[in-house]
Amino acid sequence: MPNTFFRRVQELLGRDHGAASDLATRFRAFQAVLDGNNRTLEAMTEMGEKLGGDYLFDVNYTRSAYDVLFAAVSDSLRNFNLLTDQQYPQLKDILTRIDGLVQRMLTGSEPVFQGQVLFYPEITWDLAEEVGGKNYHLAELANILQLRVPEAFAITTAAFSDFIRHNDLAERLVGLGSADKETLEELRTAILAGSFPEDFSASLTAALKTMRHRLGREGKLAVRSSADEEDGDFSFAGQFETVLNVPCTVEAVQGAYKEVLASLFQANATSYQRQLGYDLGKLKMAVGCVAMIEARASGVIYTAAAGKDRSQMAISAAWGLGPGVVDGLTDADLYTVAKEGDLRLIEQRIGSKAQMVVNSGASGVETQETPVALRGQACLCEAEVLELARQALAIERYYKIPQDIEWAMDNTGRCYFLQARSLRMDEPTVDGSDKGMEAVEAGYPVLLRNKGIVVQRGITAGKVFILRHIDELEHIPKGSILVARHDSSHFVQAIPILNAIITDIGVPTSHMASICREFNIPTVVNTGSATEVLQQGQVITLQAGERGEVVVYAGIVQSLLREERLTGAKLRELYEFRRQKYIMRYIAPLNLVNPLEQEYAPEKCKTVHDLVRFMHEKSVQTLVANAGRTRGTGGFFNRRSALHLLVLPIPVQIKVIDLGGGLSGEGGGKEMGFAEVASVPLRAVLSGMLSPGVWQNEAVPLRGADLLSGMTRAEDLTRDGAAVLENVALASAVYVNMSLRFGYHFNMLDCYCSDTPRNNHIYFRFVGGAAAITNRSRRIALMDQILAEYGFALKAKGDLLVGRLSGQSSEEIEGILEQIGRLIGYTRQLDARLDSDEMVRTLAQRFLQGDYRVTP
């Protein structure tokens, strides 16, 4: 913001009123907060763009870009503390912690926390790397969402490093890039033979004592992998070892711990890491020790049903412990729940569940024949399905993306969550790409039709390889279609050479299913008879459609193959690149979204974006609170009450703080109309907002999926939250700063509009929305297209748009402000309607021609 303006404000406020120096100082602090925030957000979008995969960058770039961002947000914070009289001392601590996390990423240094064991209630937001993804998410379910999670503690990545050092293995983890099978096997053996540092054993002993105390002598544990990047961008589903039913003794847990660590270097896990561009030996393994549940039934929930409409949820269930489902051992029950409106069970397919996995005596688990009476019986009743669905939805809402959740139910019907991670999904195709379904070519016999469940859609051809034993994986020829009785996460080893996978038994919620989606391998499970119908070496074409259609033709159906196969290439990012990119997770996500919520507290800030948002909100509130005080009460607007309510015929209430010359008429009146607005820029933007037709009067119903991705409950929109939900304009004759909140999104406009063009500027920022992110991004694209017409320098990222313009004459500025006023009204609820990119172009064109209809 131009310094000349601060000078003017100071003059304005200081000249005739000696007591106004407080105001001058505070207002300057306010402006400096805005300036720092703007610079922070610009640096953030810039970094997001450069680290997003489209650019070649080096580590120096990340460092210097982060330095710019950190300096900007530090400026903001310093001035914010000045403005608010240090009311929020927590923010400095949060910024320091964020900075620590980023610096650690930049330098690759060890975690600050050096303890070896952390019980779940002790796991806070900044300890994700220490406890690994799986532990971290599970702890969040318990600590934040208050969902039922078994008693558990994490063995940290620091403990892992201690173990590695203690056994002189550190050097052997370097340069494993092209290590052969033997080298990796030796490493596994060395880990399994490793001993524990004394303090590590002591911490573990103490933790297990606590566990025995809580679970009783007979209590058992599941010892599970939780690598530092597990359940992050990539699931690692089923790639590492989990040891079940482990007694609560130091010897037993140490043994299981080493098994889990050693699984870092087992064949499937190394193959997975290599395919995703990991440098072997760089992952740090934390481990979770989670109380075993005597599970009556277990299963997996996909909060968005794979390959289908996202408004449905899929719940699979089998008798006994989880491996029955996640390892695809049994033909599980599959329940489909509609998410829109009230949750409804719309379909249930009861599996034959011939086998079940149960605890085996003192330790370990075993697979048994399911008692005949139980086989055809549903594992869950409708009420249980819906209760699971309700809790799963809460998890999806919290993470704002569809989830892959493991659960178990004990004999009393109590449900526990054992894992939650992001569910990787295809973007649904816009045009119906299943055109080939009718195109059954003459001469291509259909071998299988509409049998099985599509896990990953796609059309492909190849020679059938029927897998009879897992050892045969190494012998599969390139380009094969793997046909197997059961699915297995070990298939990952063959994925680089496979064209597709088809199984007889399996559910779309298994570990293998997650992996196949990650690699975009066309996959169909549960066909019942593929291994019998298809012949070894037979050439077939598989068509797995988006809506769940499956056709297998004999021969190669060229006409179908024209559809390009999606490659897994975009997933194959490099470890170092991802590490740089991960810095953004401490910067860009916005967790504080609705100022109406209880959570709008300083201690809830977890990212730089949160800090910026929080500081803006509280800065405006501080000004409003002070401006509202009348003469003589010591408020910083000492002259008179400077706060007025604008009464306008539009669905938005705006309070104006008159900085001098912003409003005309007698200052005593609380309510004012458009006629009394004297501020040139405020008048311009309001006259745009008052243009006929720009506010879409009918409410747009948010769809179920929108609300899921939304941030809070719908009733919050209508609740009277006047105390916090204020739209505020600070105005002088030539300046305005407006903050407008419409429920879920937020506009900020800052404009100086004088007779000297070089002092003039418009800064416009828009963020948020309640609809799904695709729709929100489309709204941003629409605004981007419109504002570009006026020469704005624009930066857009996700649902954030920042626009800047300067040097225009006051007439030009006024014209543009009117358009912005119209745009503010026009886009208020537009995101929920933007169903295609085509619509974005159409509406942008219409808007520019003064046509504000939003119907397609």
- 751 forms beta bridges with 736, 762
What is the nearest approach in angstroms of other proteins to the Cβ of residue 579? 9
Surface-to-core class of residue 221, CB atoms within 10 Å of its CB (0-12 exposed, 13-18 middle, 19+ buried): buried
Q: By CB under 8 A, name the one of 50, 296, 400, 585 that touches other proteins.
A: 50
838 is a contact residue toward other proteins (CB under 8 A): no
**Which span sits near other proteins by CB under 8 A: 371-379, 567-575, 711-719, 813-821?**
567-575
58 is a contact residue toward other proteins (CB under 8 A): yes
What is the nearest approach in angstroms of other proteins to the Cβ of residue 52? 10
**Which span sits near other proteins by CB under 8 A: 56-64, 77-85, 498-506, 740-748?**
56-64
What is the nearest approach in angstroms of other proteins to the Cβ of residue 267? 24
Which residues, numbered 628-667, are part of the site for other proteins (CB under 8 A)?
Answer: none
**Which span sits near other proteins by CB under 8 A: 58-66, 228-236, 240-248, 322-330?**
58-66
Q: Which residues of 178-215 are buried (b: 16+ CB within 10 A; e: fewer)?
A: ebeeeebeebbeebeebebeeebeebbeebbeebeeeb
Q: Is the dihedral of CA 296, 302, 303, 309 positive or negative?
A: negative
57 is a contact residue toward other proteins (CB under 8 A): yes
Q: What's the CA gap between 323 and 594, in Å, rounded? A: 40
Q: What's the CA gap between 718 and 702, in Å, rounded? A: 14
Whose Cβ is closer to other proteins: residue 536's or residue 567's?
567
What is the nearest approach in angstroms of other proteins to the Cβ of residue 793? 17
What is the nearest approach in angstroms of other proteins to the Cβ of residue 135? 29
Which of these, 459, 468, 466, lies nearest to 502 by C-alpha position? 466
Are 549 and 437 a contacting pair, CB within 8 Å? yes
The one-character DSSP state at 529 is S
**Which span sits near other proteins by CB under 8 A: 372-380, 464-472, 570-578, 592-600?**
570-578
192 is a contact residue toward other proteins (CB under 8 A): no
**Which span sits near other proteins by CB under 8 A: 75-83, 426-434, 572-580, 675-683?**
572-580
What is the nearest approach in angstroms of other proteins to the Cβ of residue 661? 45
What is the nearest approach in angstroms of other proteins to the Cβ of residue 617? 33
What is the nearest approach in angstroms of other proteins to the Cβ of residue 282? 13
Task: Report residue 309: phi and psi, to 5°.
Answer: -60, 135
Q: What six digits make up the tokens of 80?
A: 């914010």
Q: How many residues bind other proteins, per CB under 8 A?
A: 17
Whose Cβ is closer to other proteins: residue 60's or residue 849's?
60
Q: By CB under 8 A, name the one of 115, 277, 704, 798 that touches other proteins.
A: 277
Surface-to-core class of residue 431, CB atoms within 10 Å of its CB (0-12 exposed, 13-18 middle, 19+ buried): exposed
**Which span sits near other proteins by CB under 8 A: 29-37, 132-140, 179-187, 569-577?**
569-577
Which of these, 154, 204, 152, 194, lies nearest to 172 by C-alpha position? 194
Are 464 and 480 a contacting pair, CB within 8 Å? yes
**Which span sits near other proteins by CB under 8 A: 52-60, 121-129, 332-340, 644-652?**
52-60
Surface-to-core class of residue 133, CB atoms within 10 Å of its CB (0-12 exposed, 13-18 middle, 19+ buried): buried
Q: By CB under 8 A, name the one of 55, 427, 666, 698 that touches other proteins.
A: 55
Q: What six digits make up the tokens of 211?
A: 């566990």
449 is a contact residue toward other proteins (CB under 8 A): no
56 is a contact residue toward other proteins (CB under 8 A): yes
Q: What's the CA gap between 42 and 182, in Å, rounded? A: 50
Q: By CB under 8 A, name the one of 193, 354, 430, 574 that touches other proteins.
A: 574
Q: Terminus-to-terminus CA distance in the chain, angstroms? A: 40
Whose Cβ is closer to other proteins: residue 54's or residue 715's?
54
Q: By CB under 8 A, name the one of 245, 330, 538, 580 that touches other proteins.
A: 580
Q: By CB under 8 A, name the one of 7, 15, 16, 59 that touches other proteins.
A: 59
Tell me the angle at which helices 21-50 and 608-627 cross, rounded to the nearest 10 degrees.
160
Q: Which H or E run includes 515?
A: helix 511-518
Whose Cβ is closer to other proteins: residue 245's or residue 273's?
273
What is the nearest approach in angstroms of other proteins to the Cβ of residue 184? 22
Q: What's the CA gap between 480 and 489, in Å, rounded? A: 18
Q: Which residues of 734-764 are buried (b: 16+ CB within 10 A; e: fewer)?
A: bbbbbbbbbbbbbbbbbbbbbeebebbbbbb
The residue type of 200 is: F
569 is a contact residue toward other proteins (CB under 8 A): yes
Q: What's the CA gap between 135 and 149, in Å, rounded? A: 11
Length of the chain in residues, anyone?
856
3-state secondary structure of 523: strand
Which of these, 759, 737, 733, lies nearest to 749 by C-alpha position? 737
**Which span sits near other proteins by CB under 8 A: 358-366, 466-474, 568-576, 827-835?**
568-576
Which of these, 54, 183, 172, lies nearest to 573 by C-alpha position? 54
Whose Cβ is closer to other proteins: residue 49's or residue 812's?
49
What is the nearest approach in angstroms of other proteins to the Cβ of residue 575? 9
Whose Cβ is closer to other proteins: residue 572's or residue 670's?
572
**Which span sits near other proteins by CB under 8 A: 54-62, 99-107, 616-624, 834-842?**
54-62
The residue type of 653 is: Q
Whose Cβ is closer to other proteins: residue 16's or residue 67's?
67
Whose Cβ is closer to other proteins: residue 577's or residue 600's?
577
**Which span sits near other proteins by CB under 8 A: 2-10, 59-67, 330-338, 340-348?**
59-67
Whose Cβ is closer to other proteins: residue 569's or residue 722's?
569
Q: Which H or E run includes 188?
A: helix 181-192
Which of these, 583, 599, 581, lies nearest to 591 by C-alpha position? 599
What is the nearest approach in angstroms of other proteins to the Cβ of residue 49? 9
**Which span sits near other proteins by CB under 8 A: 53-61, 94-102, 694-702, 845-853?**
53-61
What is the nearest approach in angstroms of other proteins to the Cβ of residue 58? 4
Whose Cβ is closer to other proteins: residue 442's or residue 569's?
569
**Which span sits near other proteins by CB under 8 A: 49-57, 162-170, 597-605, 717-725?**
49-57
Q: What's the CA gap between 604 and 586, in Å, rounded? A: 13
520 is a contact residue toward other proteins (CB under 8 A): no
Q: What's the CA gap between 338 and 670, in Å, rounded? A: 50
788 is a contact residue toward other proteins (CB under 8 A): no
Task: Report residue 40: phi and psi, to 5°.
Answer: -60, -45
Whose Cβ is closer to other proteins: residue 56's or residue 723's?
56
Task: Report residue 236: phi and psi, to 5°.
Answer: 55, 25
Tell me the angle at which helices 810-826 and 680-689 cross, rounded to the nearest 10 degrees.
40
3-state secondary structure of 425: coil
Q: By CB under 8 A, name the one of 110, 366, 441, 576 that touches other proteins.
A: 576
Which of these, 636, 652, 848, lies nearest to 743 by C-alpha position? 652
582 is a contact residue toward other proteins (CB under 8 A): no
Q: What's the CA gap between 803 and 761, in Å, rounded? A: 11
**Which span sits near other proteins by CB under 8 A: 5-13, 50-58, 80-88, 528-536?**
50-58
107 is a contact residue toward other proteins (CB under 8 A): no
Q: What's the CA gap between 363 and 219, in Å, rounded? A: 11
What is the nearest approach in angstroms of other proteins to the Cβ of residue 494? 22
What is the nearest approach in angstroms of other proteins to the Cβ of residue 175? 13
60 is a contact residue toward other proteins (CB under 8 A): yes
Which of these, 829, 711, 723, lies nearest to 779 by C-alpha position? 829
Binding site for other proteins (CB under 8 A): 50, 54-61, 277, 569, 572-574, 576-577, 580
